[in-house]
């Protein structure tokens, strides 16, 4: 068969057969090498966080992936395919142009405090512009209430970089760890603590384009309504027949009321982590 094997001789059949199979083998090896190379490149270009988010995003259930223009009533039905990053979406500017409704300002949504001067990220973080041109970032009321009392919160150190949909904070509870997505790109210049509250102060990379992808106006109440639905469904899935309204009043500490629920699964659902 091979030149160094006794009684070697080539025929057309050998050449075809071996060529095909060694090509296939080479193609399989090349595929794996390519994937390894791309992984290394992602590491060098620091795009790993965004790839991680895209991987999580692909695993989201369809109910969590609704486009903001469906929330605002701009379109009947649309699913997000951009990982909630409207900055790279081609359809978003078209739909914004179509928008006719005036934004409705509302301070309380189903009992949650959602101040209208703040903008909201789908991972339950708010962004607020400060007077000095920096941005303050924190977990919204809905998020705070479903997290309950964490035993530790890891904030990125001052000077570290944040990127949209990258890791913003890490919240640890006894029954679940949850990473919270960063709503903006920038550099952390200050952060809070358990007394001042868990917030980050961020110097944005590109101040003109900080808010494009964040929810605002009448998108927020509709979004919260759907999040309530998702939460209720998650409760039911984890075997707790819970209703979130307690005689019309919203439960303030979900954990104390439903300690037996699968909080790990529920928090994963609500904070968009697979």
Partner 1 sequence: METSIGKKQKYGMVIDLDKCNGCGGCTVACAIENNVPPALEKMNKRNGITWLNISTVSNNEQFPKIESVFIPMFCQQCEKETPCMTVCPQNAVDVDPSTGIVGQVPQRCLGCRYCMTACPYHARYFNWWDPEWTEGMKQQLNPDVAPRMRGVVEKCNFCHGRLHTAKQKAAAQGSREINPADYVPACVESCPNKAITFGDLNDLTTNVSQLSKSENTFRFLSRLGTEPKVYYHSEKKWVRTMAEKSLTRSHQEGFNG
Partner 2 sequence: MDKILIPRGLQRTSFWNFLLWIIPWIALLSLGIYAIYLCLAEGLFHTNMDNRFAFGIWIFLDLTVIALGAGAFFTGFLLYILHRKELKAVINSAVVIGLICYSGAILVLAVDVGQPMRAWFTFWHPNTHSMLTEVTFCLTCYLIVLLIEYVPIVLKNRQLRQIPKFLVFEFELHKLMPVLAGIGTFLSFFHQGSLGGLFGVLRGRPFAFREELGIWPSTFFLFVISAAAAGPSFIMLTTLLVEKITQKKLVKPEVYKFLGKVSGTMLIGYVLLKSIDTLIWINSTSPGNGFPAFEFYATQSFGSWILFTEIVILGLIPALILLSSRLRENRKLLFGAGFLVCSGIMLNRFVMTIQTLALPTLPFDDFLTYSPSWEEVATFLFVIAYGMLLYSFTFRYATLFPQERELSLLNGELSSQEFVESSKQKSSWQPKFILNLINKFASSKL
Residues in contact with partner 2 by the rule CB under 8 A: 1-2, 5, 11, 13-14, 17-18, 21, 24-25, 27-28, 31-32, 34-36, 38-39, 42-43, 48-49, 51-52, 54-55, 59, 61-63, 77, 110-111, 225-226, 228-230, 232-239, 241-245, 247-248, 250, 262, 264-266, 268-269, 273-274
Question: Minimum distance from CB of 26 to partner 1 (Å)?
Answer: 22
- Confirm or reject binding of residue 149 to partner 1 (CB under 8 A): no
Residue closer to partner 1 by CB (options 6, 151) is 6
Is there a contact between 27 and 140 (Cβ–Cβ < 8 Å)?
no
Output the smallest distance, CB 23 to partner 1, in A.
21
Q: Which listed option, partner 1, partner 2, none, makes contact with residue 9 (CB within 5 to 8 Å by class)? A: partner 1
- The distance of closest approach from Cβ of residue 198 to partner 2 in the complex, given in angstroms and rounded to an integer, is 22
For residue 103, what are the contacts with CB-CB under 8 A and spacing of at least 6? 216, 217, 218
For residue 9, state whether it binds partner 1 (rule: CB under 8 A).
Answer: yes
Sign of the alpha-carbon dihedral angle for 83, 78, 227, 100: positive
Q: Minimum CB separation from partner 1 for residue 263, in Å?
A: 57
Question: What, of partner 1, partner 2, none, does residue 264 touch, CB below 5 to 8 Å by kind?
Answer: partner 2
- Select 88 or 237, whichever has its Cβ closest to partner 2: 237
Instruction: Give CA–CA dist 80/86, Å, rounded.
Output: 9
Tell me the closest approach of the beta carbon of residue 39 to partner 2, in angstroms: 5
Quick check: 75 and 100 in contact, CB under 8 A?
A: no
Sole window of 1-9, 240-248, 250-258, 261-269 interacting with partner 1 (rule: CB under 8 A): 1-9
Within a 10 A sphere around the Cβ of 242, how many other Cβ atoms?
A: 19
Q: Smallest distance, Å, CB 13 to partner 1?
A: 12
The 10 Å Cβ neighbour count of residue 58 is: 11
Q: Out of 3, 4, 7, 208, which residue is the one contacting partner 1 (CB under 8 A)? A: 7
Separation CA 104–CA 217 (nearest Å): 6
To partner 1, the closest distance from the beta carbon of 5 in angstroms equals: 9
- By the rule CB under 8 A, 11 interacts with partner 1: no
Tell me which long-range contacts 165-171 makes (C-beta under 8 A, separation of at least 24).
165/49, 165/50, 165/53, 165/57, 165/83, 165/84, 165/85, 165/123, 166/49, 166/50, 166/52, 166/53, 167/49, 168/123, 168/125, 168/137, 168/200, 169/139, 169/198, 169/200, 171/147
158 binds, among partner 1, partner 2, none (CB under 5 to 8 A by kind): none
Interacting residues with partner 1 (CB under 8 A): 1, 7, 9
């Amino acid at each position: 068969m091979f030149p160094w094997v006794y009684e070697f001789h080539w025929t057309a059949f050998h050449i075809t057969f071996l060529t095909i199979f060694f090509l296939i083998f080479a193609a399989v090896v090349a595929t794996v090498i390519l994937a390894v190379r791309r992984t290394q490149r992602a590491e060098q270009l620091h795009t790993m966080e965004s790839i991680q988010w895209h991987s999580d995003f692909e695993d989201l259930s369809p109910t969590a992936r609704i486009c903001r223009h469906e929330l605002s009533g701009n379109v009947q039905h649309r699913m997000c395919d951009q990982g909630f990053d409207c900055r790279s979406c081609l359809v978003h500017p078209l739909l914004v142009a179509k928008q006719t409704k005036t934004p409705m300002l509302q301070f309380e949504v189903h009992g949650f405090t959602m101040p209208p001067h703040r903008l909201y990220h789908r991972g339950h973080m708010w962004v607020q512009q400060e007077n000095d041109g920096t941005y303050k970032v924190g977990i919204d009321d809905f998020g705070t209430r479903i997290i309950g009392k964490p035993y530790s919160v890891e904030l990125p150190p001052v000077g570290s970089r944040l990127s949209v949909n990258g890791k913003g904070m890490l919240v640890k509870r006894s029954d679940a760890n949850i990473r919270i997505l960063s709503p903006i790109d920038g550099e952390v210049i200050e952060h809070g603590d358990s007394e001042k509250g868990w917030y980050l102060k961020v110097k944005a990379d590109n101040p003109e384009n900080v808010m494009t992808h964040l929810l605002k106006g009448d998108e927020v109440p509709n979004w919260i309504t759907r999040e309530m639905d998702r939460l209720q469904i998650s409760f039911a899935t984890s075997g707790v027949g819970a209703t979130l309204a307690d005689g019309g009043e919203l439960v303030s500490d979900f954990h104390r009321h439903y300690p037996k629920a699968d909080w790990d699964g529920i928090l994963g659902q609500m904070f968009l982590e697979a």
